[in-house]
Structure 1
Amino acid sequence: MSADKSALVLELGARYVRCGISGERAPRCVTRWEAGDMLLKPLSAADWRQYLYPKLRALCFELLLVNPTRRRFVVCEDLLLPRVFRETLLSILFDVLKASAVTLVPSMLAVLYATANHTALVVDCGWAETRLLPVFKGIPLPYLYETVPAGSRNCCEQIRKELNTAQDQPMDGSKIALPVSEAMAEDILERACFAQQKDPLPNVVDAKFQAHDNNVLQVPGSLRTGAVEQLLLGDESTDGTSIVDGIVQVLKKAPLDVRAAMLENLLFVGGTAMIPGLAQRIVAEVRESLHHDNEFASATAAVDRAQLVQTYFPRNVLAWELAPS
């Protein structure tokens, strides 16, 4: 299909927007936006228009370098976006950017195209929260939809707190001159942190981290693994709920004939799922939790078969890659 006839594909996350042309192997650009934080407060259509219009215009004309007029759009979105947000988005695409057609695709369903499966428990680990949606034989089960207030933001807050309260320590003649920002904490989470497995490494070495201002940060080994633990065990920043708890709750609410299929097909997507070892550790924690749950005492074999769905694309762009065009 020629580029001029291909659809423009947008995947709207809480922290990032991924945009590109359908048929290409990867998004052309991934850019930050603040929609996730803005969704925490009620906004009018005028407020959303004031924010969305310059963002969408910049995506098309400055980043993708295409004229959106008479082009088709495919938008991968959250199932529970507010109606005012969705209506404002469509109004801008049709009335201002003159799109010929817009297809709205739930991102948690689009990711299944990346696998040979039609059944999975989709676990979307994002910036502000983790969303869970069972899909059985191609049919989503929205009455089992669950959210957990645990995501990368919680990890970044812990990284900032520990590094900013630690005493400045000289490292190669440099010191931390400025407080660790949220963006820097996110960079540390991506490049230096990982999830310990059930048999943890005895000694995790400290990491020397080159900041953008050329200062060198000393990231303790305990922080490299500890920043991720709250996603697995829960703490006050996640209201005491972890991703493991969310998965267990969904499984308990699911019909008996669906539980085994969900356990055998755990599909992790989203930027937070890219943290090394996180998905594998969550599966191990789910197994252990269910083995100690009387409700699953007769389903030991199914619990032992709990496993990840293998994907052939990065977990953070899975919805974009498989968006229909």
Structure 2
Amino acid sequence: MGGNQTQIKFILLGITDSLPAQTPLFIFFLLIYIVTLVGNVGIVTLVRVSPSLHNPMYFFLTHFAFVDICYSTVISPRMLADLLSEDKTISFSGCMMQFLIFAFLANAECHLLAMMAYDRHVAICQPLLYVTIISSRVCWQLVASSYLFAFLSAIVYTWCTFGGSFCGPSHIDHFFCDVVPVLKLVCSDTHSSEMVIFAFVTINVVGTSVVILLSYISIIRTVLRMCSAQSRARAFHTCASHLMAVSMYFGSAFFMYLQPPSSHRSLDKVASIFYAVLTPMFNPFIYSLRNKEVKGALVECGRRLFNHWQHKRVVSCRT
């Protein structure tokens, strides 16, 4: 990347160019962003303060929620500002940094989902060895390796996307700096960059998908061998939340990134909104509303807060 490249400024065309639609969209996506922050911060806080949730499954979930908070924050504030602003320009370095952080978090989310699938596999298929296999040290090693590989992949994506020559139009037909719309602005040959990006996306998305698929094949085989219908129902219920999160995230990711560049069309913005904006909002509800342990911890925290408030009220009345 030459020094002259850093002087380039891009213009994000955003979700829509319809002026009447921009204010309603701003309100809609602002509410989504607020719910996303409240929901994911709530998950992290709940796991931290509830002893009943201090286990590997919820350790991975707190990191997943943290990534969702950062993931949404990289995209939504800029998108919201552009909906109300006439100046939609973004500097070359700003665009590159947004993409780098986005790519890092997106890859980290893939790996965390795979780690969570592996955790469920061990819990159901090898319950007697669960504490030994998924120890605290192993949890930290798995999360650290996920972040490390995600960061290295993000550097490769960023170099391939922004390493070419930008000498044509500067309009990015998207609401954030993503690989496909940015590569369309590169006037040098991008074939080799596209092949490298495709290879790394395949390694990250397909590789983690295979880990999830193999984990659930093993889980299903183990569950079907269970004698008790109640045990089978409990095991499937334990995995239901994770499967819903996997389906939403990987479904939109496959649609967006594992197709030839020539095949990309207007539906890409819809897919991007789904996985970059909506999915981080849905995840806390998926893991809380469908999980008895989380709902139990919420009730317990509410009871403790109420008792604390009632105790303070009684003390203040006596004084």
TM-score, length basis structure 2: 0.30
Higher relative contact order (CA 8 A, sep 6+): 2
Q: Say which structure is richer in helix.
A: 2
Give the number of the structure whose alpha-carbon radius of gyration is greater: 2
Q: Say which structure is richer in strand.
A: 1
